[in-house]
Amino acid sequence: MKLKTKKYKAGVFILIVLIIGVTLVMTFAMPKSGNLSDVTLPAAPADKPVQNVNSDILYKEKDWTTNFTHDASIIKADGRYYSFSTDYMVGAPPTPGIQIRKSKDLIHWEFVGRVFEQVSPEAWESTKGTTFWAPDVVKLNDKYYLYYSVSSVGKRNSYIGVAVSDNIEGPWIDEGAVFISQEGDEHTVNAIDPDIVLDEHGQAWMVYGSYFGGIFITKVDSATGKLVDPNDEGTLVAQRKNMNYGIEGPEIIYNGDTGYYYLTVSYEWLEDTYNVRTARSKNITGPYVDYNGSEMIDTTDESFNTGNKLVGAYRFENSDGWLGTGHNALFEENGEYYLTHNARAGEDVYWSHLHVRKIVWTDDGWPVVSPERYAGEAEQEINEENIIGKWEQILLPRYDDSLQDSQNLQLKSNGEMGEDDKSHWALTGDNTLELTVYDPGRAPDDYWKYKLKVIPAWDWENWNGTLVFTGMDQEGTVLWGKKTVEKNK
């Protein structure tokens, strides 16, 4: 009996040790919680949530901030960020003149004034247009060059001009036409939406165009700001099947780390289905190819599906969402990349705002953007315990440009997702969240595999700091996510 008792006690002791060991392993090996106490989150961008629609400011330009911004380009000068944008407002015809705003931090914007008071006689004669569209500003040879468009809606009667100034806020001297397109001329391009980009060797180029002929790129003489060959519309770099497949607002940026030029364009209609697409090339003149190997000059029925979608109409919970998320600009500062675009308030699509978003790069060198507007956040190390909890996710399908609503997502401490024990998550590499989503009969080999970058952000819908993710699946479709943060009551 005593021997049995000793064996029994020894067995109990071993069992207790095993339980303690397993508990310790579980405690230290598994993520413990979903708190963000060790993450540096951005501060609130304002004292209280920002109104997306506010009729009280209609005629108070000093209070416009990001309101009524359309087709903006961004340049940094004299320690400030400057936004130059299309003549636009709500409730009355816009005052002509290209709107100027400035900011210290890309978050808080101050209305500065306008360039010009009316279009030039030459631009009027060519187009009968009365307002300026889609400006772009670049510094060449210690001077600022402001490129602008004047156009006749729905026709190729369009005009790109350039103005020059020693100072970013002017005064500006109009230097006349850079390129003019006319119905029935020998060209196919529509002379609007210019973007000036320097290639890796310092040569300046103008990428431009829209509906009708597509997007072209041509050389610029840096000494004059005009084209090297005034009659050369350049090389076609992007187009779509026909006029029913909208394309416009081109931008190009070079990333020296990847060795690629990245072309962005906007598809569809500016008030609702507007969305930004991208493709890349080793040469500034193309060919530009998307994640799936499709060229951006595709004119087949598949041209609706070309380009990686970076941003499209979306709605998170507790908001009316944003539509018309297009006509972007790109810029880089100290190795950090940003994308700006129009966004129209879901409660009233005539209220257009400037959105600035941080770009992050996938491990294979593709840009993806934050699902939330920039608020000063900095990339930093994220731990597994930060990931656990409730999220909202938004898929941005390439074949559907309508407003996409968020769906709930639960990331559990055991690495599973929701109630599905066949779907899993893992945090790997450089803040890369891998989601393996079981979707039999629809996904390749029954699983969608997402590689997503996790960064801090400001939750503009719920007005608190949080984490977000952004990235793509194995077919190049973007998935956004935002963590739900439980607020103290």
- Do strands 389-396 and 478-483 pair parallel, antiparallel, or not at all (unpaired)? antiparallel
> Which positions ≥6 away from 116 have C-beta within 8 Å?
96, 97, 98, 132, 163, 172, 174
Q: Which residues pair with 99 in a beta bridge?
A: 85, 114
How deeply is 404 buried, as exposed, middle or buried, from its count of CB atoms within 10 A (0-12, 13-18, 19+)? middle
Active site residues: 71, 248
Q: What percent of the chain has pLDDT over 90?
A: 87
> Which positions ≥6 away from 46 have C-beta within 8 Å?
none
Alpha-carbon distance of 49 to 303, in angstroms, equals 39
282: Cα separation from own chain's centroid: 21
DSSP reduced 3-state for 405: strand
* pLDDT tens-place string over residues 47-72: 999 999 999 999 999 999 999 999 99
Alpha-carbon distance of 431 to 428, in angstroms, equals 6
**Do 377 and 26 form a contact (C-beta atoms < 8 A)?**
no
Write down all domains in the chain, each with its CATH number in brackets: 2-42+379-483 (2.40.128.10), 60-369 (2.115.10.20)
Flag whether pLDDT at 131 surpasses 60. Answer: yes
Average pLDDT, the chain: 92
Residue found by looking up tokens 């490129």 in the block: 147
At 420 the pLDDT is 87
**Do 445 and 29 form a contact (C-beta atoms < 8 A)?**
no
In the structure, what pLDDT confidence band is assigned to residue 103 with cuts at 50, 70 and 90?
very high
* pLDDT tens-place string over residues 233-249: 999 999 999 888 899 99
Flag whether pLDDT at 396 surpasses 90. Answer: yes
| C-alpha torsion angle, residues 361, 313, 66, 177 (rounded to 10) | 80
How deeply is 280 buried, as exposed, middle or buried, from its count of CB atoms within 10 A (0-12, 13-18, 19+)? buried
- Which whole number is the average pLDDT over 382-393? 97
At 33 the pLDDT is 54
At 91 the pLDDT is 86
> Which positions ≥6 away from 484 have C-beta within 8 Å?
389, 390, 391, 392, 462, 466
Q: What are phi and psi of 462, to 5 degrees?
A: -110, -5
Structure tokens at 188: 């196919």
Does an H or E element contain 319, and which?
none
State whether the Cα torsion 262-271-98-228 is positive or negative: positive
pLDDT greater at residue 1 or residue 84: 84
Structure tokens at 135: 């400006």
CA distances from 97 to 75, 115, 126, 174, 314 (A): 18, 5, 18, 12, 31
Structure tokens at 468: 């977000």
> Which positions ≥6 away from 55 have C-beta within 8 Å?
91
**Do 391 and 486 form a contact (C-beta atoms < 8 A)?**
no
Q: What percent of the chain has pLDDT over 70?
A: 93
> Which positions ≥6 away from 478 have C-beta within 8 Å?
308, 309, 310, 368, 395, 396, 470, 471, 472
- Which whole number is the average pLDDT over 135-158? 96
User: How many DSSP H helices and E strands does the chain contain?
Assistant: 3, 31
Q: What are phi and psi of 44, to 5 degrees?
A: -60, 130
Strand order in the sheet with 275-281: 247-255, 260-267, 275-281, 308-311
- Which whole number is the average pLDDT over 22-38? 54
Amino acid at 122: E
In the structure, what pLDDT confidence band is assigned to residue 21 with cuts at 50, 70 and 90?
very low
* pLDDT tens-place string over residues 178-205: 999 999 999 999 999 999 999 999 999 9
In the structure, what pLDDT confidence band is assigned to residue 286 with cuts at 50, 70 and 90?
very high
At 486 the pLDDT is 83
- Which whole number is the average pLDDT over 260-272? 97
Flag whether pLDDT at 207 surpasses 70. Answer: yes
State whether the Cα torsion 440-315-386-20 is positive or negative: negative
How deeply is 412 buried, as exposed, middle or buried, from its count of CB atoms within 10 A (0-12, 13-18, 19+)? middle
The pTM for the full model equals: 0.92
Alpha-carbon distance of 324 to 312, in angstroms, equals 8
Rounded to a whole number of angstroms, the distance between the first and last alpha carbons of the chain is 60
Among 115, 112, 109, 186, CA closest to 147: 115
Flag whether pLDDT at 480 surpasses 80. Answer: yes
Alpha-carbon distance of 136 to 144, in angstroms, equals 10
